[in-house]
A and B are shown apart, each in its own frame.
Chain A
Amino acid sequence: MKYNRTIPSLALAGALAVASVGSAVGQDDEQVTLQYWAWFPPLPTTEKMIEAFEAANPNIDVEINVLESTVYQDKLPLSLAAGDALDLVAVQTGAMVDQVKVDLQPLEPLLEEYVGADWADAYAAKAVDQAKQLADDGELYILPVGALGSVVGYYNAEMFEELGLEVPTNYEEFKAYADAVTAADPNLFPVVFSGENWFQDEILLTLIGQTSPEFFNDIRYGDGRWDDPAFIEALTTYKQMHDDGIFSLDTIGIDYGGALEIFYGGGAPILLQGTWEAGMISEPFRTENGIELAEVGLMPLPVIADGGTPSIRSFIEMGLAVPANSDNPEEAMALLEFLVFGDGVDVWAPTLSFVPARLGYELPETTLPTEVAQESFATLSQLVQNPSSDRNNVSAFSAVVGDGIIEALNGADPADVAAKLQSEWESGRYIQ
């Protein structure tokens, strides 16, 4: 959904430019208009970020174009290839980097020139490594604003108190928790989540990561296999969790928004989702967005097998890049600096969608007023910054894995499912 914020017209800008040529005032007098494209954060947050930037930089106007993610995947490469003069674009941290890097400027020279030679001191090294790794020439084309991951649990602290529940940390506690919830009200979901295929994949990989942290990285970057015993075992346990009443087969028909609706409406004490939804642990966020829950906490998934540790998969997200066709690299970098290192962080960080890559950033006090919120945020940061594997999905294949999981839930044998997935992975349909 595009949003146009250019003040009046190019004519006015042009007039100003012409007028300023003759004057002897400083070189930043000309009005510059930047084209900024992204798919995230949602428009209202993006608008706020840009408003703050424009206020601090009166000579720069920014035209925002925020599109839905899958449309963005098609439109950005096409527009860049068609030669559109975009100035700053957000790039999805996956296959898109290689796809569009030919249209982007290498960032390190720009960072050194416009942000400062010591820019890397204020930035998470791991993020730089992951970003470079996405380009097959190892260069830095994108600078991610932060990282996010999945799967975590969000719990309705008020409901927990009412029903006398405690945050479960292992299988037995999880089962006891589910029994208590069902006893209190059979209509409640002990745990609600979107049963869509890609999310099933996320859940299972998170569970596997508790005992075999390298599992996904091995498959993604090496020659790991889906029919590995770790996968089969986790899938069997996952099925068991449904049989034991912890999870419900009713979640299979629920979509992303549906699960959130149920949680917000008090239909389940625990919701499973990614860390990008973490805004809900912050009271100001809840109030602003109409979430009428008194308190929401964040918890890792309980450890389902002995000897495991709570973990998630995480990865950098939303890399900012400067297209080669930009006529305004200086201003584009000013926007980039604002969003990644500067005051822009104060706008998007409190939404808690990303854990900032900028080092040493502290959230404003009002964001996390309660102890539960602060503890939850500490858990969040710890999980995101210490992932088991990279959350670097091959999206079409996540759906296939999820479909296999659903088949297992509907009665198929996990070993068969795993074997099928492995042969599908080898088919060449997903990665060339």
Chain B
Amino acid sequence: MASGVVTGGRGRIRTALLFLLPLALFYAVFYLYSFIYVGVASFLNTDATLRNPEYVGLDNYELPLTHDRFYIAMFNTIAFALVAILAAVTIGFFLAVVLSTKMRGHQFFYAVFFLPALMPMSLVASVFAVMLASRFGTVNEILRFVGLDEFTQRWLGDPTLAWISVAMIFVYVIGLPIMYYTADLSTINISLLEAAVVDGAGPWPLFRLILFPLTSAARKTIILSILLGTFRAFEIVYLSTGGGPSGRTEIAGTYLYNFATSGVNVGYVAAASVIVLLIALAISLVNLTLQKRADARSGA
């Protein structure tokens, strides 16, 4: 192995290429072909086996773009993502900080908040569906038990409440963001905080001026992963409300599944997937721009 400082453009690039080679390999094999397949299929009317394809131009694109359910699904995807992000950077952040002080019982609390995030989503979603059932569901039963009968609701049957219920499931799994924050917080030198406290800083300035900026790495990860990850989400909605009632809680993943996977016309799924991906790309560009501006402002 050649020793010496790696200088010069070509050396740098070669090193970088070597580091990126495994990633590039995976992407080339799996994503490249898949994107080409999906792209080509989106212009065809054909089944999964791609036999007897019929070229239909942009017809497959018209189908989702003229479908009001599609727009609702897109809107919900972004909206749920924003709710989840908001919960993560407030509640999640708060919990991560408090727990990282290693207070008494912190291991118990960590376990309680992490467990939902690591459990199978199919379990979480179906349990919520059962809990929110109008007649024998846990939530309503508890309300009846304490005599608050008037507050019982059709949590899953009423469109607005169903939306809120799904949003609550997104909040329930903030264990992951807590994990990222914890990782970030672990790199902060405690003497920094001690010094600040000695200088007379109260909790709020501590949060705002030290902890918040220093966890920006975790925050960026959280925002992007939730934003984009919601496009991939499926079971969280499918196994709780199924996208209902009447498609009010539909997200991109359930739309693709419900409308486009009967196997008969793969072109429809493909076109819808392409549009979803383009929207995701647009969203992340928006996020990128906002991030750059925020970074510039804070001088990071």
Q: Give the interface of A toward B (CB within 8 A).
A: 70, 73-74, 77-78, 80-81, 95-96, 99, 102, 187, 189, 195-197, 248-250, 252-255, 258, 262, 267, 395-396, 399, 403-404, 406-407, 410, 427-429, 432
Contacts and interface: CB of A to CB of B under 8 A. Distances in A.
Interface string B259-293: 10111110010000000000000000000000000
B156 A252 contact: yes
Given A253-B132, A429-B67, 19 more contacts: A74-B48, A74-B263, A77-B263, A81-B51, A95-B264, A99-B47, A249-B157, A250-B135, A250-B157, A252-B245, A253-B154, A253-B157, A258-B130, A396-B262, A403-B247, A406-B245, A410-B246, A428-B59, A428-B63
B181 to A, nearest CB: 34
B134 A77 contact: no
Contact of A73 (B247, B263, B268): B263
Nearest to B241: A253
Nearest to B137: A253
A189 B135 contact: yes
Nearest to A250: B134
A195 B157 CA distance: 9
Nearest to B265: A432
Given A78-B48, A406-B245, A429-B63, A253 B262 contact: no
B158 interface: yes
Contacts of A254: 133
Contact of B262 (A196, A395, A428): A395
Contact of A197 (B130, B156, B244, B264): B244
Contacts of A252: 134, 154, 156-157, 244-245
A410 B158 contact: yes
B7 interface: no
Contacts of B92: none
Contact of A406 (B134, B246, B264): B246
Nearest to A76: B263
Interface in B243-262: 244-247, 258-259, 261-262
A407 B67 CA distance: 17
A99 B157 contact: no
A432 to B, nearest CB: 6
12 contacts: A78-B49, A96-B263, A187-B135, A195-B157, A250-B134, A252-B134, A252-B244, A253-B133, A253-B156, A395-B262, A403-B245, A404-B246
Nearest to B263: A73
B76 to A, nearest CB: 15
Contacts of B262: 73, 95, 395-396
Contacts of A248: 135
Q: Which of B154, B241, B246, B247 has the most C-beta atoms of chain A within 10 angstroms of its own C-beta?
A: B246
Size category of the B interface is 35 or more
B259 A396 contact: yes
Nearest to A82: B49
Nearest to B45: A432
A66 B226 CA distance: 36
B133 A258 contact: yes
B261 A70 contact: yes
Contacts of B258: 396, 399
Contacts of A99: 47, 263-264
A255 B129 contact: yes
A70 B238 CA distance: 14
Contacts of A249: 134, 154, 157
Nearest to A92: B263
A253 B263 contact: no
B167 to A, nearest CB: 16
Contacts of A428: 59, 63
A267 B129 CA distance: 18
B144 to A, nearest CB: 10
Interface string B131-165: 01111110000000000000000111111000000
Contacts of A96: 263
B298 interface: no
A77 B259 contact: no
B242 interface: yes
Nearest to B159: A410
Nearest to A403: B246
Interface in B44-61: 45, 47-49, 51, 59
Interface in B108-139: 129-130, 132-137
B154 A427 contact: no
Contact of A77 (B48, B135, B136, B245): B48
A384 to B, nearest CB: 25
Contacts of B49: 77-78, 80-81
